[in-house]
Structure 1
Amino acid sequence: MATSTRTPTGSYSPVWLGLDIGTQSVRCVATDRTGTVVASAARPLDSVREGRRHEQDPRQWWSALVGACSEAMATVGTRSVRGLSLCATSGTILLADTDLRPLTPALMYDDARAADEVDRVHEAGSALWESLGYRPQASWALPKLLWLLRDHPPTNRTRLLHQADYLTGLLAGRLTAVDSSHALKTGYDLDGERWPTDVVDALDIPAHVLPEVVRPGTPIGEVCADSARVTGIPEGTPIVAGMTDGCASVLGSGTFSVGSWNSVLGTTLVLKGVTDTRLHDPLGVVYSHRAPDGNWLPGGASSVGAGVISDLFGSADLDRLTALASDRPTTTLVTYPLVSRGERFPFVAPEARRFTLGTPADEVDAYAAVLRGVAFIERLCFDYLDLLGAPVDGTLTTTGGGARNDYWTEVRATTLGRPLTVPSNADPAVGMTLLARSAESSLAEAAREVVRDAVTIDPVAADTDVLTEGYLALIDALHERGWLPTELTDHAHHRSTR
């Protein structure tokens, strides 16, 4: 079912479009120079999940994008569209031909079937991964590319496409460059700003399969006549290279200063912050994107998140469950809320699976246990970032669908022991409208003109001790199962006493 938001104004000032390709929907947002949302529309997406498999039909992305854009453009009307930028899920790829016809399904960001290929990736690029400060995982795009090529031997017309450049290519009517943010998990060298030819050759990947890469904010094409006709976006509208959805949320939330962080609670939990130097992580679970202004955006994507609520409580009245949970005393009952098997951040455990500590009395208890579980893993993420030496004491904003649940945000703030700021309209699509504008001036200048409304939710002091007790119980259980490293377990305990 389509969803739309319209903010009528009396102005005919220009607008910029931000397109967010998520797991469950495609959204198109139009904002004016102050960041006010002029039009917004969305269309749903379906996934196929089975064990480590997670696929989508890339042609569905395009049909959803066309529907969302055409609805939003009906509201934009005669306003001038000055540019667009697009964000998508990190590590989602497919093989296509040079005419942008898909040759394979899309392997989504958490598809982990390339477990055998990841060892080859580690061996071929060990020196590079060490210098870049991360270690590719089975769900990353590079091992998944090897997995796809194994059953689809490449021809001279075969191309690897990320979710982002597949759609910008369709908008432009030709193959386009991909941004370095989306290319990171495909092995792109952010320091040298190049594909690592020695690693690519060692993995027997033909060079022509890989796309051209540019920095976020770089113009990469214009909307072609055919795409203009079906989307309503004017022909010739500039297309600006975007970023991954996690990075886009950082921009949309106003997270620009060093030490500030944004926590995106959607299907999964994604943390991104700002540092002036790259973080080096011996476990390889934290990786750093380049920000458009030259700083670094470290962070990671957990396998826990709001997606488990759809899995466990899909037919329930969530507003009712939230209201009932908020009226009950806080307890240590907790569910480790994996969306699918295997954890990616703040630790790597392919064998990890969902479990509950304690016995829920009813559906309300079970629901509250999941909310607490996400909050506890969020706290563990910050404990790990602190262990790595990252500055974590700056502002903390939260975005994503889960941030709209005030009670859940209050549980998270209390668990973290710090206020959480929930910006209005600070979703990834809004961040992409800022990036689209940056092609005309600079990101800093565009951000200064944006008027930001936000709500700050403070911790509940009376619940702090019981939530800390539940948190420590969960991390001990993760450690006992052999998933959580001892050093992080000890650091979490130590930090809880500060």
Structure 2
Amino acid sequence: MSTRTSDPGGSAEPLVVGVDVATAEVRAEVRDGRGGLAASASAALPRPTHGADGSAEQDARTWWPAAREALARCTAELGDRSRAIAALAVCATSGTVTAVDTGAEPIAPAIMYDDRRGTEPAARARRAGAGRWNDIGITPSATSGLAHLALLAERTEDPDTRLVHTPDVIAERLVGHPVATDSSHALKSGYDPLREQWVHEALEAAGVAPERLPEVVAPARPLGLVSRKAAAETGLPVGCQVRSGMTDGCAGQLAAGAVESGQVVTVIGTTMVLKAVSTELVHDPTGVVYSHRHPEGGWLPGGASNTGGEALADVAGELAELDRAAEELGPAGLVCYPLRRRGERFPFSDERARGFRSAEPGDRVELHRARLEGVAFCEKLALRRLGALGVTVSGPIRTAGGGARSSTWCRIRASVLGEPVLRVPGAGTPLGAALLAASGTVHPDLSSAAAAMAPRARMVEPVAGEVERLAESYEAFRAELTARGWLA
């Protein structure tokens, strides 16, 4: 264990905080150097508003009060032990941005990660930065952070206002001055991780003045120290280090312990995020697979699907009962693609994609089973896509997020993949953020932080007798996607 930059708690065992600004709430977790949970709290955020024009917005002014509340509840729970908090990092959704004034107060609604209004600026950015996008394997889309920045720039023309990502707002309120953003949140906002600079020509073509954007640093880097004002509001110790985070998908990957080359994790939250670790940058000509920079060298290739836990949104209060019945039922007699929104982005990209069923289910249990299988089919398709691009997978697939809490779903996924999966309970975004906070403070680097703090994984085996039947269903699923023209 390394010496901390600051030691607010004297000789007390050091603690770190991971903060996740999710869509519906802000969650904070305080962890010790072994990953033990010392305190946790959450505070609700207002539901984003969605419009028929493809808009998706949220009141960004609610982010800091919610973060402040969650942090204050954690430190109140810890009491005097809160003085031992050495560092904090913030993670959030990729592509969610807002505009702030000189005091870090949002002056416009946040443009959320799933806002689809940026088709035109995204097209201009693609043309202007074509060479760069080819190099780094990123293609700006209507839902990218770059397109969202363009929408904000058009709405807020005052040059003194700044365009920032969600974690930047929280970090700036904590330290009391503007902060750099991290290269993970900046990736889809027009940042070139190869040359370590904003893609100025593309941003300018989209109407975004680069001087309105923050500097960029790698994840797990110091941004500043908690100010006296923020300490009084949150209970954090003055001088606690605030460090740069990563997107929620990347944080979930770290929390599952997938930090070494060849390791892969599927995080099933609202969406399904699949991430790998590679020594080389992965080039996908379709732009479906993209790569974040590993905080310590190398790359994190993967993608995020629009399927996932959202497929079960209408039965959220009945999951345990339906899971038991679905396990007794066995493989469904129909194929289901449980997409609830318009368009897909991974493991294939097509704005025309819609959810479908090959037949009507016999009852609600069979529909539930078909939905669970459908997400698993997307996971298998995504893994095969990574393999086709040259990504090496060593060892079983790790799984984390809300979907990993369902033992039934994990067994179905193992059966679809035809191999065991490693279920990592409690490996959520707040823990991933805590690992970034611990890297270089409580632990010397990210690998050692993950080894010490990531939860112990549990092996989940395929269900005997179901692998062949689900392999047939997977092929039918893939054939249906191909027939509809969505899958090449």
TM-score for both structures, normalised by structure 1: 0.91
Amino acid aligned to 1:228: A
Residue of structure 1 equivalent to 2:412: 411
1:91/1:140 contact within 8 Å kept: yes
CA 1:107–1:308: 2 relative to 1, 3 Å:
farther
TM-superposition CA deviations, 1:454-473 (whole Å, max 9, x none): 21111113111221121111
Equivalent of 2:62 in 60, 63, 72: 60
How many Å apart are 1:436 and its aligned residue? 1.0
Map 1:280-299 to 2 at 5 A: 280-299=283-302
Shifted more, 256-265 versus 428-437: the winner is: 428-437
CA distance in 1, matches of 2:468, 2:97: 44
Residue of structure 2 equivalent to 1:117: 121
CA distance in 1, matches of 2:64, 2:109: 13
CA distance in 2, matches of 1:395, 1:318: 26
CA distance in 2, matches of 1:391, 1:109: 29
Matched, 1:21 2:25: no
How many Å apart are 1:12 and its aligned residue? 4.7
TM-superposition CA deviations, 1:235-285 (whole Å, max 9, x none): 221100111111111211111221110110000000111000000000001
Equivalent of 1:146 in 147, 150, 153: 150
1:37/1:425 contact within 8 Å kept: no
TM-superposition CA deviations, 1:345-367 (whole Å, max 9, x none): 11111121111121112221221
SS of 2:164's partner is: strand
Matched, 1:275 2:278: yes
TM-superposition CA deviations, 1:22-58 (whole Å, max 9, x none): 2232211111111111112222332223453322221
Residue of structure 2 equivalent to 1:246: 249
Map 1:21-100 to 2 at 5 A: 21-45=21-45, 46-51=47-52, 52-79=54-81, 80-100=84-104
CA distance in 2, matches of 1:201, 1:380: 36
2:307/2:338 contact within 8 Å kept: yes
SS of 1:317's partner is: helix
Amino acid aligned to 2:326: A
Residue of structure 2 equivalent to 1:461: 464
CA distance in 2, matches of 1:49, 1:393: 41
Matched, 1:235 2:245: no
Map 1:214-225 to 2 at 5 A: 214-225=217-228
Matched, 1:129 2:130: no
Residue of structure 1 equivalent to 2:262: 259
Shifted more, 432-441 versus 195-204: the winner is: 195-204
- 5+ residue gaps, structure 1, are 1-10, 486-498
Residue of structure 2 equivalent to 1:366: 367
1:305/1:339 contact within 8 Å kept: no
Residue of structure 1 equivalent to 2:322: 321
CA 1:448–1:378: 2 relative to 1, 3 Å:
closer
Amino acid aligned to 1:304: T
Map 1:287-436 to 2 at 5 A: 287-310=290-313, 312-314=314-316, 316-436=317-437
How many Å apart are 1:451 and its aligned residue? 6.6
SS of 1:77's partner is: helix
- 5+ residue gaps, structure 2, are 1-10
SS of 2:163's partner is: strand
TM-superposition CA deviations, 1:181-225 (whole Å, max 9, x none): 110001101011111233333334222211111111110012222
CA distance in 2, matches of 1:299, 1:148: 27
Shifted more, 373-382 versus 21-30: the winner is: 21-30
Shifted more, 406-415 versus 66-75: the winner is: 66-75
Query: Number of aligned pairs?
Result: 472
1:346/1:380 contact within 8 Å kept: yes
How many Å apart are 1:306 and its aligned residue? 0.5
CA distance in 2, matches of 1:202, 1:56: 26
Shifted more, 88-97 versus 56-65: the winner is: 56-65
CA distance in 1, matches of 2:352, 2:214: 33
SS of 1:39's partner is: strand
CA distance in 2, matches of 1:245, 1:292: 14
TM-superposition CA deviations, 1:304-356 (whole Å, max 9, x none): 0101211x325x42211111111113124232122421101111111211111
CA distance in 2, matches of 1:357, 1:292: 43
How many Å apart are 1:377 and its aligned residue? 0.6
Amino acid aligned to 1:33: G
SS of 1:462's partner is: coil
Shifted more, 383-392 versus 184-193: the winner is: 383-392
Residue of structure 2 equivalent to 1:496: none
CA distance in 1, matches of 2:126, 2:23: 28
CA distance in 1, matches of 2:368, 2:413: 15
2:401/2:426 contact within 8 Å kept: no
SS of 1:459's partner is: coil
**Identity between Structure 1 and Structure 2 (%):** 41
Residue of structure 1 equivalent to 2:486: 483
CA distance in 2, matches of 1:447, 1:356: 40
CA distance in 2, matches of 1:50, 1:313: 24
2:255/2:454 contact within 8 Å kept: no
TM-superposition CA deviations, 1:365-413 (whole Å, max 9, x none): 2211211111111111011111111112433111111110110111111
How many Å apart are 1:153 and its aligned residue? 4.4
CA distance in 2, matches of 1:201, 1:129: 15
TM-score for both structures, normalised by structure 2: 0.93
Shifted more, 52-61 versus 429-438: the winner is: 52-61
1:259/1:395 contact within 8 Å kept: no
CA distance in 2, matches of 1:206, 1:330: 53
SS of 1:461's partner is: coil
CA distance in 2, matches of 1:426, 1:95: 31
CA RMSD, 1 decimal: 1.7
1:30/1:76 contact within 8 Å kept: no
CA distance in 2, matches of 1:255, 1:89: 19
Residue of structure 2 equivalent to 1:495: none
Shifted more, 448-457 versus 359-368: the winner is: 448-457
CA distance in 1, matches of 2:451, 2:322: 40
SS of 1:34's partner is: coil
